[in-house]
């Protein structure tokens, strides 16, 4: 599609679970698009996708696909990003990459606009979108850090299957039906597409997201630990993570224990800070059974925080329950917000099609 | 039923989810029963239940039901225990109570046989069976405490609906079917039967188990905190808990962070201790994707421990993933094990029917 004013945007992985959400998010936030190029692997090329009332055809990505592109949004897996992101940058595009391929590269800003928007200014062509479970946690913790300091984080996650892609959603639904019908099941996707073993997710809990590393942590856990320090610019922050997959379609939940930098802070103080924090909705009234839940957070832009309690032993210890739509704030929305930051801060070149 | 040798056992709440598991557990562990009396509220009285090939009729409980009873196993809710347990004790029975009614009473031993079996000796008629999520955690942590000391515990739970009774299991299954059929749902049981509000559990996560207290903690969280200290006899142990309900039928999982009393302990040391711990099965081989999961733990007696990792910041910090069948070790099995301890330690009076 072409429009008289706006940027040339390319979406790599347009047919995936996150790609679809990126398209919807660009549309409803009215991002200034002059031309939209939809790209994918050969397998999905040729598919047709609706955008602002027009039908667009997905093209197989080649290096030349990025000629003239201003902003390229990548969410087609790490190896695709490694192959094509440098090609896009070489052709003058700014790449916002949803995969983990470049996140810990010191040359690449890792951005959650509510936390470190200014970091986009340091881009050298590539900007990384953090891991879904990291984004929602740092956006909720940053206002607390700003007000009271932050020394330590211990998080246990409750993650939805859509974080593993559209195939994992199908697997959850089909497996659930089979189990309710007392039919045999054959797990094929979760916990990790390429892994040796696959396990039942319906009515089960799998304490593995992504591959294991030598120290017994999964890559997902190390992402949360390392990305949190990088985004918050707190290299000596103590962070521990246990990442767990649940039979939930969309919406990641997190049980988070923090130790802040002050000893005289109350739950009310923390609630006050979060009640005006950008992108955060406080949902915390135990007397009315008000707390965040993924079934209610799915489809919403915000990060929901509740169950805020003071630790019973540590004066500077607090517990929080953080829930957000992993496909929106955890992926597509944050990606589009980064693109919006590029426009707002005048970093992206003037629209070629104006 | 009567048998020439064995104890007169009464089961209060014989038709409930835990009561049914108690019956199965007594049968398969061949507990020495001479006479078995099945009791319930008026609502369930008259139901027929099979035990060791005989058909028994459930009777409505009255104080006189406990005449001649040696051991009474209660699992019919706190108010029933408060009403009938003293009547049973008055008539000479030893009551093993599955509810929270008497657990924190300093006169009442709170027992997990693998942890504090000798405490049964101090009974004054009543012995309490701990909360399901507490039992599996303390049984896994006690061998670690014994070997290395224990200073601090932070747990986030992943609890199955069967902990909320048979009605909650039906609610999960029916709701799941409705959602898959795109029919409307009407939550009526979870998170708490008598609460004002009920929430969807299918494909959702509810961060509330039991009622809230004034400090923002739920009763379930306070049970885990207080019962852990009592069972382990560590009044100054630091314990924090966040308790969460999941769309899983049976099997509670726990993400547990601990700080032990020594700084030079390795993951291998902890694995070694747990590999010979009573009632514990080590399931920990990341290279083979071996870790505990509720779908595999359901129906098993043991407590499964895996994902053991050293914290990346605290030398004495470790992370564990603990899973067990909440109806078995978390309830029925531990109850029957307490009864077995009474026999083994010669605390229960000689069988009246020998």
Q: Mutate which of A156, A286, A306, A321 to disrupt the B interface (most B C-beta within 10 Å)? A: A156
Query: What's the token pair of residue B196?
Result: 């004002």
CB contact (8 A) between residue B246 and residue A246: yes
Of B216, B242, B246, which has the smallest distance from its Cβ to A205's Cβ?
B246
CB contact (8 A) between residue B253 and residue A244: yes
pLDDT greater than 60 at residue A1: no
B72 vs B7: CA distance, rounded Å: 10
Question: How many CB atoms sit inside 10 A of residue A333's CB?
Answer: 26
- Alpha helices by DSSP H, listed for chain B, are 17-28, 78-90, 113-116, 132-148, 166-180, 219-232, 267-275, 294-297, 333-344
B225 phi, psi to nearest 5 deg: -65, -50
Q: Mutate which of B178, B203, B251 to disrupt the A interface (most A C-beta within 10 Å)? A: B203
B99 is in an annotated binding site: no
Angle at A93 between CA A88 and CA A98, to 5 degrees: 70
B13 is in an annotated binding site: no
> B135-174: b or e for each residue (b if 16 or more CB lie within 10 Å)?
bbbbbbbbbbbebbebebbbbbbbbbbbbbbbebbebbbb
A242 vs A220: CA distance, rounded Å: 9
**pLDDT interval class at A2 (50, 70, 90):** low
Topology at the third CATH level for domain B134-325: Dihydrodipicolinate Reductase; domain 2 (3.30.360)
**pLDDT interval class at A189 (50, 70, 90):** very high
Ordered by start, the domain boundaries in chain B are: 7-129+331-344, 134-325
Distance from CA of A173 to the nearest CA of B (A): 7
Q: What is the DSSP string of B263-309?
A: SS--HHHHHHHHHT-TTEEE--BGGGTB---HHHHTT-SSEEEEEEE
A315 vs A262: CA distance, rounded Å: 8
CB contact (8 A) between residue A199 and residue B293: yes
First to last CA, chain B: 14
A217 vs A244: CA distance, rounded Å: 12
Q: Which residues of A touch B238 (CB under 8 A)?
A: 313-314
Question: How many CB atoms sit inside 10 A of residue A237's CB?
Answer: 17
Q: Which of A26-30, A106-110, A243-247, B2-6 has the lowest mean pLDDT?
A: B2-6
CB contact (8 A) between residue A244 and residue B257: no
B99, B18 Cβ separation under 8 angstroms: no
Whole-Å CA distances, B11 to B56, B86, B117: 12, 15, 22
Residue ranges for chain B with pLDDT beneath 50: 354
CB contact (8 A) between residue A240 and residue B312: yes
Residue B346 region by backbone torsions, left for phi larger than 0, else alpha for psi between -120 and 50, else beta = left
What is the average pLDDT across A334-341? Answer: 98
Question: How many CB atoms sit inside 10 A of residue A149's CB?
Answer: 14
Question: How many CB atoms sit inside 10 A of residue A268's CB?
Answer: 9
First to last CA, chain A: 14
Of B154, B212, B287, which has the smallest distance from its Cβ to A154's Cβ?
B154
pLDDT greater than 90 at residue A349: no
B92 phi, psi to nearest 5 deg: 95, 0
The CATH homologous superfamily for domain A7-130+331-344 is: NAD(P)-binding Rossmann-like Domain (3.40.50.720)
B340 phi, psi to nearest 5 deg: -65, -35
Catalytic: which of B8, B132, B198, B319?
Answer: B132
Q: Which residues of B touch A196 (CB under 8 A)?
A: 288-289
Which sign, positive or negative, has the C-alpha torsion B227, B229, B233, B235? negative
Closest CA to A25 of A41, A34, A14: A14
Rounded to the nearest 10°, the torsion over CA B166, B172, B174, B178 is 170
Q: Which CATH architecture has domain A134-326?
A: 2-Layer Sandwich (3.30)
A89 vs B120: CA distance, rounded Å: 71
Q: What's the pLDDT score for residue B349?
A: 74
**pLDDT interval class at A17 (50, 70, 90):** confident
Catalytic amino acids of A? 132, 252
Q: Which residues of A touch B299 (CB under 8 A)?
A: none
Q: Which residues of B touch A156 (CB under 8 A)?
A: 156, 242, 255
Distance from CA of B243 to the nearest CA of A (A): 9
Question: How many CB atoms sit inside 10 A of residue A181's CB?
Answer: 8
CB contact (8 A) between residue A238 and residue B308: no
Cα A16 to the center of its chain, rounded Å = 14
Query: Cis omega (within 30 of 0) on the bond before A63?
Result: no
- Does CATH number 3.40.50.300 belong to domain B7-129+331-344? no
Closest chain B residue by Cα to residue A236 = B313
pLDDT (tens digit per residue) in A225-276: 999 999 999 999 999 999 999 999 999 999 999 999 999 999 999 999 999 9
Q: What is the DSSP string of B66-115?
A: GTT-SEEEE-S-HHHHHHHHHHHHHTTPEEEE-SSSSTT-TTS-B--HHH
For the CA atoms of chain A, what is the radius of gyration?
Answer: 20
Under 8 Å CB pairs connecting chains A and B tally to: 169
Query: What's the token pair of residue A3?
Result: 């429009």
Q: What's the pLDDT score for residue A354?
A: 42
Give the contacts of A4 (CB within 8 A, at least 6 positions apart).
Answer: A34, A353, A354
CB contact (8 A) between residue B239 and residue A313: yes
A216 vs A214: CA distance, rounded Å: 6
Q: Fold match between B7-129+331-344 and B134-325?
A: no
Q: Which residues of A touch B180 (CB under 8 A)?
A: 173, 176-177, 180
Of A204, A255, A306, which has the smallest distance from its Cβ to B156's Cβ?
A255
Query: What's the token pair of residue A290?
Result: 């008000």
A80, A41 Cβ separation under 8 angstroms: yes
Closest CA to B306 of A209, A206, A133, A247: A206
The DSSP code for B240 is: E
CB contact (8 A) between residue B212 and residue A286: yes
The DSSP code for A129 is: P
Higher pLDDT, A349 or A142: A142
Distance from CA of A307 to the nearest CA of B (A): 7
Of B176, B225, B291, which has the smallest distance from its Cβ to A207's Cβ?
B291
Q: Which residues of B touch A240 (CB under 8 A)?
A: 257, 311-313, 317, 319
Distance from CA of B249 to the nearest CA of A (A): 6
B159 is in an annotated binding site: yes
Q: Which residues of B touch A316 (CB under 8 A)?
A: none
Whole-Å CA distances, A70 to A77, A98, A338, B104, B208: 21, 17, 13, 65, 47
Is residue B64 packed enough to be buried (19+ CB in 10 Å), middle (13-18) or exposed (0-12)? exposed
Which sign, positive or negative, has the C-alpha torsion B321, B324, B326, B331? negative
B149 vs B139: CA distance, rounded Å: 14
pLDDT (tens digit per residue) in A145-158: 999 999 999 999 99
| Angle in degrees, 0-180, between the axes of helices A17-28 and A333-344, rounded to the nearest 10 | 40
Closest chain A residue by Cα to residue B248 = A203
CB contact (8 A) between residue B319 and residue A197: no
Distance from CA of B79 to the nearest CA of A (A): 23
Please give the mean pLDDT across all residues of chain A. 96
What is the average pLDDT across A186-215? Answer: 96
- According to DSSP, the β-strands at B150-158 and B252-260 are antiparallel
Of B154, B195, B244, which has the smallest distance from its Cβ to A158's Cβ?
B244
B103 is in an annotated binding site: yes
């Amino acid at each position: 599609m072409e429009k008289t004013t706006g940027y040339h945007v390319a979406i790599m992985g347009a047919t995936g679970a996150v790609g679809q959400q990126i398209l919807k998010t660009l549309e409803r936030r009215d991002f200034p698009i002059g031309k939209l190029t939809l790209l994918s692997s050969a397998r999905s090329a040729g598919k047709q996708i609706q955008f602002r009332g027009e039908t667009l055809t997905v093209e197989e990505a080649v290096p030349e696909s990025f000629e003239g592109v201003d902003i390229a949004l990548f969410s087609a897996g790490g190896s695709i990003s490694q192959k094509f992101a440098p090609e896009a940058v070489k052709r003058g595009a700014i790449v916002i990459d949803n995969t983990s391929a470049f996140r810990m590269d010191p040359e690449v800003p890792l951005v959650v606009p509510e936390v470190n928007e200014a970091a986009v200014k340091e881009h050298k062509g590539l900007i990384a979108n953090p891991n879904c479970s990291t984004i929602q946690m740092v956006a909720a913790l940053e206002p607390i850090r700003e007000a009271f300091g932050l020394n330590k984080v211990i998080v246990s996650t409750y993650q939805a299957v859509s974080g593993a892609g559209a195939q994992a959603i199908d697997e959850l639904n089909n497996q659930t039906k089979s189990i309710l019908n007392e039919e045999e099941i054959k797990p094929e996707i979760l916990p990790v597409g390429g892994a040796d073993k696959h396990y039942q997710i319906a009515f089960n809990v799998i304490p593995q997201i992504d591959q294991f590393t030598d120290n017994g942590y999964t890559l997902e856990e190390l992402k949360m630990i390392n990305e949190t320090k990088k985004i918050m610019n707190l290299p000596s922050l103590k962070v521990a993570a246990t990442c767990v997959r649940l039979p939930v379609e969309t919406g990641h939940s997190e049980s988070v224990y923090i130790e802040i930098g002050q000893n005289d802070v109350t739950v009310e103080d923390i609630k006050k800070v979060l009640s005006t924090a950008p992108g955060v909705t406080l949902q915390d009234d135990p007397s009315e059974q008000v707390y965040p839940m993924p079934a209610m957070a799915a489809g919403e832009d915000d990060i929901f925080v509740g169950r805020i309690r003071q630790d019973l032993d540590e004066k500077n210890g607090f517990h929080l329950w953080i829930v957000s739509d992993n496909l929106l704030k955890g992926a597509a929305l944050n990606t589009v917000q980064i693109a919006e930051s590029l426009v707002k801060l005048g970093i992206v070149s003037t629209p070629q099609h104006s």
